[in-house]
Structure 1
Amino acid sequence: MVNTDVHTLESRTRDRVLRVVSQEGPVSIPALVERLGLTETAVRRQVDALHADGLVEPREATGPRRRGRPAKAWVLTEHGHRALVSDYDHLAGDALRFMRATAGESAVKAFADQRIAALEARYADRLASADDTTAARADALVDALNADGFAASARPVGAPGNSGPGAGVQLCQGHCPVQHVATEFPELCEAETEAFSRLLGVHVQRLATLAHGDHVCTTFVPTSTTSPTTERPSS
């Protein structure tokens, strides 16, 4: 019984590490230690195991280096992303290929728009309770995405105070349930990006996607001192 409990705990810790790397990568060991509240030894053991299984890989860390071993930051590999994908991904791909073959490309776009409409309507309710600024709404969007398992985070970028030209929020998604389907059907990513623009009331820009081989989906959300005018989705 003790061995079973230890195995379960290790498995949960492994999953936690994998999720944080998915959400925040490239992420260093010290950052993982701080984020997870674990010892450095425990985190290194899990990262080494994930690396051995081909689920994470190192990148050269940015910023000042400490003495000792070379600084590394960790991201998910393609295999790591697949480990977070369910059979729904494969089923959705088959369904969309059939739809494209029988009804054409317009049917795929209509499906993507309809799929995102339900998500957009749910998220609009969450964002309605946020402060009426783009940054606050972006934070509310991150919370909504995390509730759906997208491993999202938001980081301010640009000028201090996040109000000058070029300032904004970098919204990242470390996991997507339709990542591999979106590789073949970019309409899914396009519909999501358009929904983000409507929810946040500003024109957002998709900078990187998991579907294109990046380690995270990155969306730039411009911020300003004025309140956004949000186009609410119809119910």
Structure 2
Amino acid sequence: MTQRTVGGPGRGLPGPEELRNNGVVKNGAPSTGIPHEELATGERPTRNRVARSILDHGPSTVAELAERLGLTQAAVRRHLDALAADGVVEARERRVYGTRTRGRPAKVFALTDCGRDAFDQSYDKLAVDALRWIAEREGGGEAVAAFARARIAAQAETYRKAVEAAAPDQRTEALAKALSADGYAATARSAPQPHTGEQLCQHHCPVAHVAEQFPQLCEAETEFFAELLGTHVQRLATIAHGDGVCTTFIPKAPKTSKTSHYSHNASASTAGRNPA
């Protein structure tokens, strides 16, 4: 398989394999197409680190990236300018959930679809064609939903063990770590005021492009989170719908006696949608 380069020569991100091993600089500029000066200064590996940090942590400000990577803000801006020029990142206003504070929302930088593709070369078209075939031959949207639930069930055991082994107040964090191990770059954090609970944030979705056409994938995942955590959960945003992060709100007080009801009704009512 040949490597694909996103953006123009000397500035764009390398293909998926080089991104996944961005701590390694290959020897010899002629074989990689990377100018000698970039190999000497480490510009490309650093630029990859900036993009990777956005993938792992979601849309980020210049200050956040600088602190996270140990760079100056001026250096981060330089790399972001190059990544933006190549269509890998884009600037946008940070979404605010809950009460807005005074002043303009902070500007954050998020990966574009092109930027995400550089990290994860998937078989989106094949998956879409397969799901479309299932829908046409086997019963429409319900057949796709059944497939989505079966797919989640096949992966459920690892997540279930991680959550059940954690203390009740650490279960969202445990789920985030298990999701990260599967490539979702997930984190858990307290929900912004005035809400009481947590937010499960998935900064990467390997099936985002497929879920754009088949939201049943998002809905099945949300149902599973509700069943696993024993409480109604609310999907606030999804990458498939154009948001920078898949965000799920998890109330503080679980309602374990109603797990079954939530898993197929309340959770699915907002799965894959952005009510904001």
Please indicate the TM-score interval, normalised by the length of the shorter structure.
Answer: 0.7 to 0.9
Correspondence 1:135-150 to 2 at 5 A: 136-150=170-184
Q: Is the 8 A contact 1:25 1:73 kept in 2?
A: no
Choose from 60, 67, 86 the match for 1:53.
Answer: 86
Q: Is the 8 A contact 2:89 2:110 kept in 1?
A: yes
Secondary structure at 1:27 match in 2? coil
Q: Which of 94, 105, 113 is the equivalent residue of 2:149?
A: 113
Unmatched tracts of structure 2, length 5 or more:
1-26, 261-276
Instruction: Please report how far the alpha carbon of residue 80 of structure 1 lies from its aligned counterpart in structure 2 after TM superposition.
Output: 2.4
Closer, same or farther: CA 36–94 of 1 in aligned 2, 3 Å: same
Task: Give the corresponding residue for 2:61.
Answer: 28
Matched residues, percent identical? 50
Query: Residue 110 and residue 130 in structure 1: after superposition, are their counterparts in 2 closer, same or farther (change >3 A)?
Result: same
What is the aligned counterpart of 1:214 among 243, 249, 262?
243
Distance in 2 between residues matched to 1:25 and 1:80, nearest whole Å: 13
Letter in 2 for 1:24: H
Please tell me the residue identity of whatever aligns with 1:198.
E
Alignment root-mean-square deviation, CA: 3.1
Cα distance, 1:10 vs. partner?
4.3
Residue in 2 aligned with 1:178? 207
Question: How many Å separate the matches in 1 of 2:111 and 2:217?
Answer: 22
2:108 & 2:174 partners in 1: Cα distance? 28
Given that 1:157 and 1:167 are in contact with CA atoms closer than 8 Å, whether structure 2 keeps it comes out as yes
Judged with a 3 Å threshold, the aligned counterparts in structure 2 of structure 1 residues 229 and 29 are, in CA distance, closer, same or farther, namely farther
CA displacement, residues 65-103 of structure 1 (integer Å, 9 cap, x when unaligned):
8xxxx9632112233233334232222112111211221
C-alpha separation in 1, matches of 2:50 and 2:155: 27
Offset, 1:37: 2.4
Q: Output the TM-score relative to the length of structure 2.
A: 0.69
Give the alignment's TM-score, normalised by structure 1.
Answer: 0.80
CA contact (8 A) 1:29 1:40 kept: yes
Higher relative contact order (CA 8 A, sep 6+): 1
What secondary structure sits across from 2:163 in the alignment?
helix
1:199 aligns with 2:228: yes
Query: How does 1:1-235 map onto structure 2 within 5 Å?
Result: 1=27, 7=39, 10-60=43-93, 72-105=107-140, 106-133=142-169, 136-158=170-192, 166-224=195-253
Q: CA deviation at 1:28?
A: 0.8
